[in-house]
Amino acid sequence: MFSSVQPDERILVTGGLTGIGAGIVDAFPGRCVVWSRRNGVDLTDEESVATAARGLLAAGSPPFAVVHCVGDFDEVPLLDADLPHYRHMLDSNLTSAFLVVRHVVPALVAAGRGRVILFSAAGASVADAKPRAPLYFAAKAGLSVLARTLALEVAASGVTVNVVAPGIIRHPHSHRVSQDRMAPRVPMGRAGEVRDLLGAIRLLLSEEGAYITGAELVVDGGIGLR
């Protein structure tokens, strides 16, 4: 068992009321601060994020970790997508991460410690065509570049930055039509569940994970091997 973040240290989980984020909150009971549109924080709006960050940081020392889980998925061919869909995919998956990084991570750097975990998608950083969901994967590829760059910028401060890239993960808000179509391709023979991601999260938040930064941990049951 990996030693984990200490019980008195807070974890900021964005998108923590549904899906993967909710599973992470359940795994660390009593430790998580949750930002979600459902509790008044619009992660795609800078003023909303800035206001939430001011409140968070005024309440005490900065959180030990930021786990950013926000990111909508949809399957729309590139030439069928319109500008509002394009903006929604980028805002939900990439702009939201940038705003959280911009308004919270400087406090971790000033404290000289902390962990940042961003969620991408299995295969997003592979340079091939993504006809199934091109705008979603384009945004997630951008997020991977953002994460690696941030990891380099803050490494000397003691803050680590890593990406978890899930494959097919079932939860009440997942895209079931896409998942049902793709699940038979998983070499391990099943779709993943949120609990399958928790080992990676615990590692990255643990003392044993303190020397891991700029990494992408793919949790996909082997579908990326196809």
- CA–CA distance, 58 with 68 (Å, rounded to integer): 20
**Cβ of 143: how many Cβ atoms within 10 Å?**
26
Instruction: Please give the backbone phi and psi of residue 222, each rounded to the nearest 5 degrees, phi first.
Output: 95, 5
- Please state, rounded to an integer, the average pLDDT across all residues of the chain: 92
Q: How many residues does this entry show for the chain?
A: 226
Q: Which residues on neighbouring strands pair with residue 12, listed in sequence order?
A: 33, 66
Instruction: Tell me the pLDDT tens digit for each residue of 67-96.
Output: 999 999 888 999 999 999 999 999 999 999
Residues identified as active-site: 136
Q: What mean pLDDT do residues 142-153 have? A: 97
Q: With the C-alpha atoms ordered 72, 76, 77, 83, is the resulting torsion angle positive or negative?
A: negative
- Does the structure show a pLDDT above 90 at 4? no
Instruction: Tell me the pLDDT tens digit for each residue of 161-206.
Output: 999 999 888 876 667 777 778 888 888 998 889 999 999 999 999 9
The predicted pLDDT at position 22 comes to 93
Q: What mean pLDDT do residues 57-70 have? A: 94
The string of DSSP letters for 11-60 reads: EEEETTTSHHHHHHHHHSTTTEEEE-GGGT--TT-HHHHHHHHHHHHHTS
**Cβ of 222: how many Cβ atoms within 10 Å?**
14
Asked if residues 99 and 52 have their Cβ atoms less than 8 Å apart, the reply is no
DSSP 8-state secondary structure symbol assigned to residue 160: E
Six-digit token pair at 10?
Answer: 């807070």
Six-digit token pair at 184?
Answer: 């038979």
Which single residue is written with the structure tokens 């030439």?
Answer: 79
Six-digit token pair at 86?
Answer: 């394009």
Contacts of 119 (CB under 8 A, 6+ apart): 20, 68, 69, 71, 163, 164, 165, 166
The domains of the chain, with CATH numbers, are: 11-225 (3.40.50.720)
